[in-house]
Homo-oligomer: A and B are copies of this chain.
Amino acid sequence: MSRPHHGNRHGRSEAARQAVLEAADDLLAEKGFAGVTIEGIAARAGVAKQTVYRWWKSKTEVLVEAFLQDLAQELTPPDHGDLSLDLRAYLRLLARFLGETDSGAVFRALIAQAQLDPAFAADFRERYLAEQRRRDRLPLERAVRRGELPVTLDLDEATDRLVGPLYYRTLVTDQPAGGEFTDRLAEAFLASLEP
């Protein structure tokens, strides 16, 4: 036996955890969501299958943990102190994330999984989408605080109208969403708020 064991009374092996998450990451990039299997993850990570099952319920759980931890860092909305600038910048950031990064690909896969598995959907929405939702509405909240937007504005629905078209393009029509598109989306959004 070449590799040492690292059993330990006080909690799990961080090395094994990281190996699993990285293996899941790699496999997703290589073979796509359907090509990821728990057996494959374990084999790639050099880890026993049981070790995966000990800590995660399904491959989806692994992928959730593997990829969505980066969401916060990658997607913190900028704060320029100006609504129009903020929206433009954030929509560009979000568009790039959803459409061009590996994490975005996983994000899409997880949302897809949520359509197919109601139990997962509830868990995923509670643990991760809620947080993402908070980021999505943050630029608007700041603008209300600055007085750029009226406090009477329904921020939930406004957020839907702001980012909804972008998610729609990415998930449903699969058309590219470049900077021009997001800039015009921001403009139209602002125009709809004019009196």
A53 to B193, CA, bound (A): 53
A159 to B102, CA, bound (A): 28
Q: Which of B111, B116, B125 contacts A33 (CB 8 A)?
A: B116
Q: Which of B114, B129, B164 contacts A167 (CB 8 A)?
A: B164
A121 to B105, CA, bound (A): 14
A181 to B191, CA, bound (A): 19
Check A172/B129 contact, CB under 8 A, given A34-B117, A188-B161, A192-B188: yes
Q: Is A118 an interface residue (CB 8 A)?
A: yes
Q: Is A185 an interface residue (CB 8 A)?
A: yes
A140 to B156, CA, bound (A): 26
Q: Is A32 an interface residue (CB 8 A)?
A: yes
Q: Is A165 an interface residue (CB 8 A)?
A: yes
Please give the distance in Å from A48's CB to the nearest CB on chain B.
10
Q: Report yes or no: A115 in contact with B121, Cβ–Cβ below 8 A.
A: no
Q: Is A108 an interface residue (CB 8 A)?
A: yes
A133 to B188, CA, bound (A): 21
Give chain A interface residues in 8-58, CB to chain B under 8 Å. Answer: 32-34
Q: Which of B112, B121, B160 contacts A169 (CB 8 A)?
A: B160
Q: Report yes or no: A185 in contact with B161, Cβ–Cβ below 8 A.
A: yes
Other contacts beyond A111-B171, A112-B116, A167-B171: 16, CB < 8 A: A34-B116, A109-B115, A109-B116, A112-B113, A125-B174, A133-B173, A157-B165, A157-B181, A157-B184, A161-B185, A164-B165, A167-B167, A171-B172, A188-B192, A191-B191, A194-B194
The 9 closest A-B CB pairs, nearest first, are A164-B165, A164-B168, A192-B192, A112-B115, A112-B112, A160-B165, A164-B164, A188-B192, A191-B192
A residues whose Cβ falls under 8 Å from a Cβ of B: 32-34, 108-109, 111-118, 121, 125, 129, 133, 154, 156-157, 160-161, 163-169, 171-175, 181, 184-185, 188-189, 191-194
